[in-house]
């Protein structure tokens, strides 16, 4: 064979192989439910359907990652993940599809507390154990879930109040004007953190809650709502913001108004979650204190499923604990944190 003929031959040969491998590879987009089911059934892996409520915050991203890592193939799981985009109807649809796919376990991080009974009854009838994570559901029938894993949101709210008590100790008794940026209405995080803080606030006659507004746990909404609050009130002393993302938005609003915040600032800021960017802001002195809410809940949920698999009893309620981080110690306290 001459050199040219050999080159043409190889080009032709490689082209043939590429074509063949393309047509043999099944396209994911065209997989039917039946194919997905069969794939899962073939393996010894434990199939878990996880309905995450959304991707509204840094906290949520860390929570999703923790659960995805814990439910890896290496750990013996096959995870079907669904993002509810902050809407309960999307989550209900996802749960129904998990039931249809005959998963072994359903894990739900519910966006709000009410309205889950019907779909959880369907899961129960199908014999699929349900584990609730992060936020809680409100139901009369606690046989609808086998276990719940999350943080104590009421305790987080009261820690915020206790911190403010300490912060104001020894100062004069002038009126303290407070605004609260609340998270998604009717979510456990909003209900618990509001009630926890308000129960402490009630004890102080000079604490004046000017406004409680919904910022939906997002940076954009936090900024928008804070702008309105700053236009309406020119004497805000304290901002209690129920998550870090809303706080980041609020800080932008405050600075754009020409005001200052945090340590020695015009507005004292109490935030929740303690994600990495919040530590940056504490180091800059822009946030006074952050009430931690630990999102790394995947390993605990995987452990619960492991116990259920071995037929062992599991705790109905498991709390993940958290700390309180202040600006002054932020650079030391953040060492070793992964989110």
Chain contacts with ligand GYE (rule: CB under 6 A) = 56-57, 59-60, 134-135, 189, 217, 243, 272-273, 293
Query: What is the C-alpha to C-alpha distance for residues 267 and 29, in angstroms, rounded to an integer?
Result: 51
Q: Which residues sit opposite 116 in a β-bridge?
A: none
Q: DSSP string of 195-248?
A: HHHHHHHTT-TTEEEEEEEE-TT-HHHHHHHHHHHHHH-S---EEEESSHHHHH
147 token code pair:
């276990």
**Least distance from C-beta 161 to ligand GYE, angstroms?**
17
**Least distance from C-beta 195 to ligand GYE, angstroms?**
15
Q: Name which of 50 and 59 has its Cβ closer to ligand GYE.
A: 59
Q: Name which of 168 and 249 has its Cβ closer to ligand GYE.
A: 249
The contacts of residue 90 (CB under 8 Å, 6+ apart) are 82, 83, 84
| DSSP structural state of residue 30 | G
**Least distance from C-beta 241 to ligand GYE, angstroms?**
10
With contact defined as beta carbons under 8 Å apart, do 148 and 132 qualify?
Answer: yes
**Least distance from C-beta 188 to ligand GYE, angstroms?**
7
Q: Name which of 105 and 217 has its Cβ closer to ligand GYE.
A: 217
- Strands 324-326, 289-292: parallel, antiparallel or unpaired by DSSP? antiparallel
Q: Name which of 77 and 163 has its Cβ closer to ligand GYE.
A: 163
Q: Name which of 78 and 187 has its Cβ closer to ligand GYE.
A: 187
**Least distance from C-beta 193 to ligand GYE, angstroms?**
8
């Amino acid at each position: 064979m001459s050199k040219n003929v050999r080159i043409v031959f190889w080009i032709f040969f490689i082209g043939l192989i590429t074509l063949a491998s393309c047509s043999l590879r099944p396209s994911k987009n065209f997989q039917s439910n039946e194919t997905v089911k069969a794939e899962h059934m073939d393996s010894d892996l434990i199939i878990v359907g996880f309905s995450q409520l959304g991707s509204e915050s840094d906290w949520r991203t860390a929570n999703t990652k923790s659960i995805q890592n814990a439910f890896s193939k290496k750990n013996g799981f096959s995870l079907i993940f669904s993002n509810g985009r902050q809407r309960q109807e999307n989550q209900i649809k996802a749960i129904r599809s998990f039931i249809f796919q005959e998963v072994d376990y359903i894990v739900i991080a519910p966006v709000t507390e009410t309205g889950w009974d019907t779909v959880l009854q369907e899961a129960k009838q199908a014999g699929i154990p349900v584990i609730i994570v992060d936020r809680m559901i409100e139901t009369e029938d606690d046989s609808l879930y086998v276990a719940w894993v999350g943080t104590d949101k009421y305790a987080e709210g009261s820690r915020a109040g206790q911190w403010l008590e300490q912060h104001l100790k020894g100062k004069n008794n002038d009126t303290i004007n407070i605004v609260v940026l609340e998270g998604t209405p009717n979510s456990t995080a909003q209900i618990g953190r509001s009630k926890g803080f308000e129960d402490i606030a009630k004890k102080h006659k000079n604490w004046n809650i000017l406004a409680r507004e919904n910022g939906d746990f997002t940076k954009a909404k936090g900024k928008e709502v804070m702008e309105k609050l700053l236009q309406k009130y020119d004497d805000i002393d304290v901002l209690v913001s129920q998550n870090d993302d809303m706080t980041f938005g609020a800080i932008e609003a405050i600075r754009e108004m020409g005001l200052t915040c945090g340590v020695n600032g015009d507005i004292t800021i109490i935030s929740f979650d303690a994600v990495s960017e919040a530590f940056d802001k504490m180091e800059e002195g822009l946030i006074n204190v952050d009430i931690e809410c630990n999102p790394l809940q995947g390993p605990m949920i995987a452990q619960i499923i492991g116990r259920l698999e071995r037929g062992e009893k599991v705790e109905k309620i498991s709390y993940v604990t958290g700390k309180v981080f202040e600006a002054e110690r932020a650079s030391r306290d953040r060492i070793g944190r992964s989110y």
